[in-house]
Structure 1
Amino acid sequence: MQVSDFARPYHAGTGPVGVLFCHGFTGSPWSLLEWAKFTEAAGHRVAVPRLPGHGTSWQEMNLTGWQDWYSCVEREFLSLRAQCQQVFITGLSMGGALALRLAEHYPDDVAGLVLVNPAVMGQFKTNFAPFLSKLMASASAVGSDLKDPTADEFAYDRTPLKAAASMLRVWVDVRACLDLVSCPLLVYRSAEDHVVPASSTAFIMSHVSSEERIERILLNSYHVATMDHDKETVFRGSLEFFDEHRR
């Protein structure tokens, strides 16, 4: 199936520091592209993969699951690790869960994490996805939660329920092993988020083993903060974080 132009993966830069960008559920590299280019311009090598089933159609996404999404970011991480002296990982929403899983499985190789509204749990209604997926193929959309009316995430207009049920399973897997995360952690959380509850970030912050764990609140953005009014805060803050932890 044809991939939308805005959903194409992005790889650029040649610096000794690599940064992997993991996008969210039903989204695409588009939601992280400006952040990645900002990071590239600062001299870093960047990789923004397109997760399988994303950027095409929600019907195709229902044919994929969390193992496919995680395998994709793992391959990209290992490629960056082979090319760079250090690798940082960023993640938006479900991409935050994938980033955390990489940090759990590669504790000596992840230099740090920058997460934006990370999802390791969802709203109460999300828990019904496994049941609903047996009755229907899709539900109302969850993407493009943006305060800026001029921005558009171009996420799917429907939520693929089989894929959503799979996302719940990776959340369980990630939550069970958060104590294995020991790298420096910076989390940006929107004060008003209509997709992921604040309890998701709270759970992460209280269960990781990282000595450095920082939470910063974004007051002028909704869930997709990497494209919203506070995006410059995220971009510049992440660069400062990378610089502080370079070796």
Structure 2
Amino acid sequence: MLLLPGAEPFTHDGSSTGVLFCHGFTGTPQSLRAWAGHLAIRGMTVSLPLLPGHGTRWQDLQRTGWQDWYATVDRELNELHRRCEQVFVCGLSMGGALALRLAARRGQAVSGLALVNPAITFPRIQGYALPVLRHLLPTARGLISDIAKDGVRETGYERVPLHAAHSMRALFALVRAELPQVTQPLLVMHSRVDHVVPPSDSAAVLAGVSSVDTTERVLESSFHVATLDHDAERIFQETDAFITRLATRKTARDGT
């Protein structure tokens, strides 16, 4: 199956600090490649997988569910731990939900989280209709390319397969219930204006986790796909500083 341009997974072997990236629903690694590339240039070990059903055609996503997407990032987390002493997880949109579930379920295997516009809720009206609607209509209008910057496009599906959307809704419910189990340091960066995920999702994440070390950054100049937007460089720098601070603290604590 041919991949969409930019949908290829990305990996980089670097230091003993690993970073796992989780892209969003109907999106591809293209939306996070520059973010991952920045940390790779900084010398970190990076893994940016393509989630099952993504990056080809929407019909392929229709045959997958959250268990498939989560299994992929869980497997990549294990793989990074074979090469790294500590692993951080970064996520955009639904990728933020996957990252939060990894943190809740894997505990010390996740050293910290950096999230951009994390999604943990589903629009109420659409959510109520989805269990029935998904059997009547295969797809709805797509969610990609909510970007303020002129001339920039996100690679992904123009249609949302409703069976997969129903599965994503179930994932969000699980993640909301598991938020108190998240204790790791947390960096949440969210756009002031987002036409896909409301900023209240980021507020709910920050209010729901048990993390003591939390940082919130508001992105004033970007829409949902902020990693490709005006605030991209700020996201890269904030993430670099966040991971470096925590990695340095661990090194000092270990006495190495």
Give the match's secondary structure for 1:108: helix
Find the aligned partners of 2:238 and 2:126 in 1 and give their Cα distance. Answer: 31
Native 8 Å contact 2:122 2:172 kept in 1: no
Q: Kindly provide the amino acid, as one letter, of the partner of residue 233 in structure 2.
A: E
Q: Kindly provide the amino acid, as one letter, of the partner of residue 130 in structure 1.
A: P
Give the match's secondary structure for 1:142: coil
Native 8 Å contact 2:19 2:88 kept in 1: yes
Moved over 4 A (4+): none
Give the unaligned 5+ runs of structure 2: 251-256
Give the match's secondary structure for 1:55: coil
Q: TM-score, normalised by structure 2?
A: 0.94
Counterpart of 1:242 in structure 2 is 243
Mapping for residues 4-43 of structure 1, pairs under 5 Å: 4-43=4-43
Counterpart of 1:192 in structure 2 is 193
Find the aligned partners of 2:162 and 2:131 in 1 and give their Cα distance. Answer: 7
Aligned-pair identity (%):
46
Shift of the 212–57 alpha-carbon distance from structure 1 to 2, 3 Å rule, reads same
Shift of the 8–126 alpha-carbon distance from structure 1 to 2, 3 Å rule, reads farther
Mapping for residues 134-149 of structure 1, pairs under 5 Å: 134-149=135-150
Native 8 Å contact 2:97 2:175 kept in 1: yes
Counterpart of 1:120 in structure 2 is 120
Q: Kindly provide the amino acid, as one letter, of the partner of residue 160 in structure 1.
A: P
Q: Kindly provide the amino acid, as one letter, of the partner of residue 173 in structure 1.
A: L
Mapping for residues 55-204 of structure 1, pairs under 5 Å: 55-127=55-127, 128-204=129-205
Give the match's secondary structure for 2:80: helix
Give the match's secondary structure for 1:7: coil
How large is the RMSD of aligned CA atoms in angstroms?
0.9
Question: Which range moved further: 204-213 or 2-11?
Answer: 2-11
Q: What's the CA shift string for 1:204-224, capped at 9, x where partnerless? A: 111100001111100000000
Question: Which range moved further: 122-131 or 233-242?
Answer: 122-131
Q: Kindly provide the amino acid, as one letter, of the partner of residue 232 in structure 1.
A: E
Counterpart of 2:230 in structure 1 is 229
> When the two structures are aligned, how many residues end up with a matched partner?
247
Give the match's secondary structure for 1:176: helix
Q: Kindly provide the amino acid, as one letter, of the partner of residue 95 in structure 1.
A: G
Find the aligned partners of 1:65 and 1:150 in 2 and give their Cα distance. Answer: 32
Give the match's secondary structure for 1:11: strand
Q: What's the CA shift string for 1:163-182, capped at 9, x where partnerless? A: 00000000011111111100
Give the unaligned 5+ runs of structure 1: none
Native 8 Å contact 1:178 1:209 kept in 2: yes
Shift of 1:125: 4.2
Q: Kindly provide the amino acid, as one letter, of the partner of residue 46 in structure 2.
A: V
Counterpart of 1:207 in structure 2 is 208
Q: Kindly provide the amino acid, as one letter, of the partner of residue 49 in structure 2.
A: P
